[in-house]
């Protein structure tokens, strides 16, 4: 059994490992040693292609028979940014005033270790039953091409059937246990070129300034597209970058470069969104004889698991440990849950999401302990219905 002091030491050691996407090898070395100490079967699987960087992932499994519960997460973190801005070094795991400071503490190394400690402690008992596994990727904070999506396919191709999954994302707003994610809006990122005619500013009649028309056209596509759906917030388009790369004051440029992102609900898909954006742009630009080129950069599908046995059991475990009625929510950004939902029911539950990706990212030590207890309660109830 792993006690609180040992769990804290494991977490601190894990946080000291620099694992900026996709360099997660040392994190997987650490976890492999931990898993093997407690008799887990380990698979380290790499995925890549001619067009993408190879990424390492891990699948750890213990037990036998059904049901099969999986915890999914990532060990990669975003870059720490300006080191001098941190109160404590970002890979120190420094403890002060009841908090552990480190890049990835909240998103999501803290919850990964909490879930692993909970699983180990359950399987150290003589009456443990069922199968428990962990899918861990080094490619969640990056392009998310060679991580969870091919990993769960690989697991399925091995003939391993996962019945239910918890993704250890930082889902809570204020207190551990206030939110469980049962779905997420999708995300569509696009690059847009608006093409006019270059010319001298003194002779605008011989040019066609794309900036003037771009301002009007972009105002037609940005903002809220609907009123939301039964389970999701409204679809929204935001312009994230505008550039003309024009270093002079006396030239009307030819091109305006735009980046945009759409967070969309289940009323939309990639095709309908692309058609909508093109139609709205055309309504302004065609009359001005301005052409444009809209290109998809990335797409993350919307997914909705809904309520059910998995969410119900997790709510009960949370209430037993906190006396909080956890809200079922689809609020927030995308997650790897969208890949897992194609194979089995999935919910997301982890730490509080207040400092992720920020300078001085940190978690309360007591929150780490509490999350571990909730996971243990849930695992016990899941396998002993």
**Cα(186)–Cα(303) distance, integer angstroms:** 7
- Per-residue pLDDT, 78: 95
How high is the pLDDT of residue 143? Answer: 80
The residue extents of the domains of the chain are 4-184+302-383, 186-300
Q: Is-same-fold flag (4-184+302-383; 186-300)? A: no
Digit-by-digit pLDDT tens for the chain (385 residues) are 999 999 999 999 999 999 999 999 999 999 999 999 999 999 999 999 888 889 999 999 999 999 999 999 999 999 999 999 999 999 999 999 999 999 999 999 999 999 999 999 999 987 888 999 999 999 999 888 899 999 999 999 999 999 999 999 999 999 999 999 999 999 999 999 999 999 999 999 999 999 999 999 999 999 999 999 999 999 999 999 999 999 999 999 999 999 999 999 999 999 999 999 999 999 999 999 999 999 999 999 999 998 899 999 999 999 999 999 999 999 988 899 999 999 999 999 999 999 999 999 999 999 999 999 999 999 999 998 7
Q: The pTM is what?
A: 0.90
Q: Is 288 exposed, middle or buried (0-12, 13-18, 19+ CB in 10 A)?
A: middle
> DSSP letter at 308?
S
Active site residue 23: no
What's the rounded Cα separation, in Å, for the pair 375 and 87? Answer: 31
Please state, in angstroms and rounded to a whole number, the distance separating the CA atoms of residues 170 and 177. Answer: 11
CATH of domain 186-300: 3.30.70.360
Of the candidates 56, 140, 149, 367, the residue annotated as catalytic is: 140
Rg of the chain over all Cα atoms, to the nearest angstrom: 24
What tokens does 355 get? 């400092």
**Angle 187-190-196 (CA atoms, 0-180°, nearest 5)?**
155
Q: How far apart are CA 260 and CA 174, in angstroms?
A: 30
The class (CATH top level) of 4-184+302-383 is alpha beta
Compute the distance between CA of residue 154 and CA of residue 159 in angstroms, rounded to an integer.
9
What is the predicted pLDDT for the residue at 142? 83
Distance CA 108, CA 115 (A): 11
8 Å CB contact between 138 and 44:
no
> Which candidate in 76, 336, 367, 373 is catalytic?
76
106 as an active site residue: the answer is no
């Amino acid at each position: 059994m792993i006690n609180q002091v040992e769990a804290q030491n494991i977490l601190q050691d894990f946080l000291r490992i620099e694992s900026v996407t996709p360099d997660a090898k040392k994190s997987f070395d650490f976890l492999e040693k931990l898993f093997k100490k407690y008799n887990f079967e380990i698979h380290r699987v790499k995925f890549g292609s001619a067009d993408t960087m190879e990424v390492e992932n891990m699948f750890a499994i213990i037990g036998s028979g059904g049901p099969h519960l999986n915890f999914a997460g990532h060990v990669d973190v975003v870059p720490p940014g300006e080191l001098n801005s941190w109160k404590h070094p970002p890979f120190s795991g420094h403890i002060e005033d009841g908090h552990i400071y480190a890049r990835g503490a909240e998103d999501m190394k803290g919850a990964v270790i909490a879930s692993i400690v909970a699983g180990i402690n359950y399987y150290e008992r003589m009456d443990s039953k069922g199968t428990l596994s962990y899918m861990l990727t080094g490619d969640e904070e990056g392009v998310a091409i060679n991580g969870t999506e091919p990993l769960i396919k690989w697991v399925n191709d091995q003939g391993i059937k996962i019945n239910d999954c918890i993704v250890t994302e930082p889902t809570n707003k204020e207190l551990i246990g206030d939110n469980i994610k049962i779905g997420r809006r999708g995300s569509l990122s696009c690059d847009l070129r608006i093409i006019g005619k270059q010319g001298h500013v003194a002779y605008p009649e011989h040019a066609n300034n794309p900036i003037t028309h771009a301002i009007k056209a972009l105002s037609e596509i940005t903002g809220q597209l609907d009123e939301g759906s039964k389970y999701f917030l409204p679809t929204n388009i935001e312009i994230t970058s505008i550039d003309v790369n024009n270093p002079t004051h006396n030239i009307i440029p030819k091109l305006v470069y735009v980046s945009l992102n759409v967070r969309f609900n289940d009323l939309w898909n990639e095709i309908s969104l692309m058609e909508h954006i093109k139609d709205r742009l055309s309504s302004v630009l065609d009359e001005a004889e301005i052409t444009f080129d809209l290109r998809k950069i990335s797409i993350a599908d919307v997914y909705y698991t809904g309520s059910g046995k998995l969410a119900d059991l997790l709510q009960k475990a949370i209430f037993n440990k906190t006396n909080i009625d956890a809200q079922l929510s689809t609020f927030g950004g995308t997650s790897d849950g969208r890949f897992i939902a194609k194979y089995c029911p999935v919910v997301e539950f982890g730490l509080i999401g207040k400092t992720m990706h920020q300078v001085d990212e940190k978690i309360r030590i007591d929150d780490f302990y509490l999350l571990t207890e909730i996971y243990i309660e849930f695992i016990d109830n899941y396998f002993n219905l």
